[in-house]
Amino acid sequence: MKVMSEKGSFGQFGGSYVPEDLGKVLGLLDEQFERYKEDPEFIEEFKYYLKEFVGRENPLTFAKHLTEKNGGAKIYLKREDLNHTGAHKINNAIGQILLAKRMGATRIIAETGAGQHGVATATACAIFGMDCTIYMGKLDTERQALNVFRMELLGAKVVAVDAGQGRLKDAVDAALNDLVENYQNTFYLLGSAVGPHPFPTMVKFFQSVISEESKKQILEKEGRLPTAVVACAGGGSNAIGAFAHYLDEPDVRLIGVEPAEAPSLTEGVPAVIHGFKCLTLLDEEGNPKPTYSVAAGLDYPGIGPEHSYLKETGRAEYVTVTGAEALEAFQLLSKVEGIIPALESAHAVAYAGKLAQELDKDDIIIVNLSGRGDKDVQQVYEMIKEQ
């Protein structure tokens, strides 16, 4: 393991700590990404699919009742939940698959934990006619049988990884081995703003459409920038996409919300996991600590390197919300706004409610509603029944 280059560093974080074979494959990917992100035809095709297939641009909805209920700042919701497949993940899947096609790949591989990234990837592969293999821990395939079937419906092959503990980490290892063996025709489509360079930079690029739109929309609606942008952070892709176009606006507060049960940024220490350096939760032996959040998408012991850097420099703030608070926000948003949020997004909604009360009536909060909650209804039903 070694650092192949300084590229993709965010202060002390990020980089690429991978074996040499993999480093070569990632170097090639970096070159091609740098080339195509400047290519107007590539960008035009990306925008075409975001509009015609994903359904962008999605609205920035004023949450009137939620605002009245809290009695403070105005709350707006950026509606990633209205995207085709129900979350922000499809933005990145479309972007990376277009790059894969340009690079001549015919086969896409990806890892998935709860199945959300697997479904987004399988969807993108279906429309672009790509061969698709999704690696998933064996334990996860058993717990998420319906998502396995969903991916199969979309034409993907799901490989249940029996190695290790049969969890996400083992699925990532299996996918990386596949990539090193088959890189000539295979593209690894990574699901969050994590991993070795160039993935965090690339995923941010494709997810930045969120803040590109929200900035334009808030200026149209309010004639000024928001006081704060609030987003949940698992690996950090929806948050970095929601922050990107405000990073150079020092008056806009950027707030990432972590689950109190997996607080990588709040309690983590700098360490290398999965090929990059970030703030991460370690156990006593120095291994990534198993976490448990009610929201499967936030259940990751590390966090994207840029968030680690934004925390260290103080440009962004990071706070925690408990599963119980998220559950309450899940029910509240459903009831007063008619929007059932993903449990992940409910973390951001919960914090925005608290923040709104501390701010003035003429302050504005944009909450990135990263996904819809249909996938979580069964789980919430069971959690409420147990209370």
Ligand X SMILES: *Cc1c(COP(=O)(O)O)cnc(C)c1O
Catalytic residue numbers, as ranges: 89, 111, 370
Task: List the one residue from 345, 352, 353, 356 that touches ligand X (CB under 6 A).
Answer: 345
87 contributes a contact to ligand X by CB under 6 A:
yes
For residue 52, give the 3-state DSSP assignment.
Answer: helix
Residue 367 contacts by C-beta under 8 Å, 6 or more apart in sequence?
Answer: 63, 75, 76, 77, 78, 230, 231, 345, 348, 349, 352
Of the candidate spans 181-189, 261-269, 317-325, 337-345, the one that interacts with ligand X by CB under 6 A turns out to be 337-345
Name the token pair of 3. Answer: 């650092």
Q: Is 89 in the site for ligand X (CB under 6 A)?
A: yes
* Min CB(32)–ligand X separation in Å: 23
Kindly write out the interface string for residues 104-143 of this chain, putting x where it contacts ligand X by CB under 6 A and - elsewhere: ------------x---------------------------
Give 108-154 as a DSSP string. EEEEESSSHHHHHHHHHHHHHT-EEEEEEEHHHHHHTHHHHHHHHHT
Nearer to ligand X, 133 or 370 (CB): 370
Measured from the CB atom, is 151 or 232 closer to ligand X?
232
320 binds ligand X, rule: CB under 6 A:
no
Nearer to ligand X, 15 or 304 (CB): 304
Dihedral (C-alpha) 263, 264, 268, 270: value to the nearest 10 degrees? -170
In this structure, the strands spanning 74-79 and 60-62 are: antiparallel
Smallest distance from the beta carbon of 289 to ligand X, in angstroms? Answer: 18
Q: 341 vs 353, which CB is nearer to ligand X? A: 341
| 3-class secondary-structure state, position 3 | strand
Count the residues of the shown chain that bind ligand X, applying the rule CB under 6 A. Answer: 20
The answer to whether the CB of 325 falls within 8 A of the CB of 353 is no
Contacts by residues 100-103 (CB-CB < 8 Å, ≥ 24 positions apart):
100/130, 100/187, 100/189, 101/128, 101/130, 102/32, 102/36, 102/42, 103/29, 103/32, 103/187
323 binds ligand X (CB under 6 A): no
Least distance in Å: CB of 344 to ligand X?
3
What track of x and - describes contact with ligand X for positions 299 through 318 (by CB under 6 A)? --------------------
Q: How far is the CB of 79 from ligand X (least distance, A)?
A: 12
Our finding on whether 337 is near ligand X (CB under 6 A) is no
Q: Could you identify the residue written with the tokens 């991978």?
A: 18
Residues 225 and 218: their CA atoms lie apart, in Å, by 6
Q: Is 192 in the site for ligand X (CB under 6 A)?
A: yes
- Stretch 209-248: interaction string toward ligand X, x if CB under 6 A: -----------------------xxxxxxxx---------
Cis peptide before 250 (omega within 30 of 0): no
- Out of 258, 337, 344, 376, the only residue in the binding site for ligand X (CB under 6 A) is 344
CA distance 142 to 369: 28
Residue pair 193/300 in contact (Cβ under 8 Å)? The answer is: no
Q: How far is the CB of 223 from ligand X (least distance, A)?
A: 29
Q: Which stretches of the chain bind ligand X, using CB under 6 A?
A: 87, 89, 116, 192-193, 232-239, 297-298, 342, 344-345, 370-371
